[in-house]
């Protein structure tokens, strides 16, 4: 036999294979496909209060220019600094203070339109890195 193409079907022997392998009993499982499966109820989405907002923040202004996106409007030059600042801002109760709102550094936005508003801000202010921040909700006691 010069090549594998010259071999017939019966020319190959698998070493260690049993002549007659034990076969499992065939079970008709058509019935299992039609039975309903019990699943846990899905969790309800978190309730959004009337004051639940997304805050669009100019991180370039808040970081004195250290965080920016001069080369690509959707990227940031320092990911770690951005993450630290956003984490700090999420817990800041004065994030939407009248001073921040008056200077335009912070802009509250509805939860359903923040993506479009963010894209418009990044187009209108090239080099300024705007990012969404979800302030932590204060718990009433």
CB–CB of 63/120 below 8 Å?
A: no
Q: What is the pTM of this model?
A: 0.59
| pLDDT band, residue 48 (cuts 50/70/90) | very low
Sheet holding 106-109, edge to edge: 106-109, 54-58, 130-133
Structure confidence by residue, pLDDT tens digits, 96-105: 888 888 888 9
Buried-exposed string 34-56: b where 16+ CB fall within 10 A, e elsewhere: eeeeeeeeeeeeeeeeeeebbbb
Find out whether 55 and 106 touch, Cβ atoms under 8 Å.
yes
Mean per-residue pLDDT, 104-126: 91
> Which of 6, 124, 121 minimizes the C-alpha distance to 56?
121
Other beta carbons within 10 angstroms of residue 105's beta carbon come to 19
Distance of CA 81 to the CA centre of its chain: 20
At 62, is the secondary structure helix, strand, or coil?
helix
How big is the CA angle at 61 (ends 57 and 66), to the nearest 5 degrees? 110
Please report which confidence band the pLDDT of residue 32 belongs to, taking 50, 70 and 90 as the band edges: low
Average pLDDT over residues 119-135: 91
With 50 as the cut, is the pLDDT of residue 45 above it? Answer: no
pLDDT at 118: 93
């Amino acid at each position: 036999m010069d090549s594998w193409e010259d071999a017939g079907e019966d020319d190959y022997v698998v070493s260690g294979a049993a002549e007659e392998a034990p076969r499992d009993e065939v079970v008709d499982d058509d019935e299992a496909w039609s039975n309903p499966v019990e699943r846990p109820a899905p969790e309800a989405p978190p309730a959004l209060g009337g004051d639940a907002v997304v805050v669009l923040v100019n991180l370039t202004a808040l970081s004195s220019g250290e965080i920016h996106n001069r080369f690509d409007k959707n990227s940031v030059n320092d990911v770690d600094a951005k993450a630290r600042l956003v984490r700090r801002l999420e817990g800041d109760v004065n994030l939407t203070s009248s001073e921040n709102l008056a200077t335009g550094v912070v802009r509250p936005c509805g939860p359903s339109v923040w993506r479009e508003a963010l894209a418009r801000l990044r187009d209108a202010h090239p080099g300024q890195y705007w990012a969404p921040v979800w302030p932590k909700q204060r718990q009433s006691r």
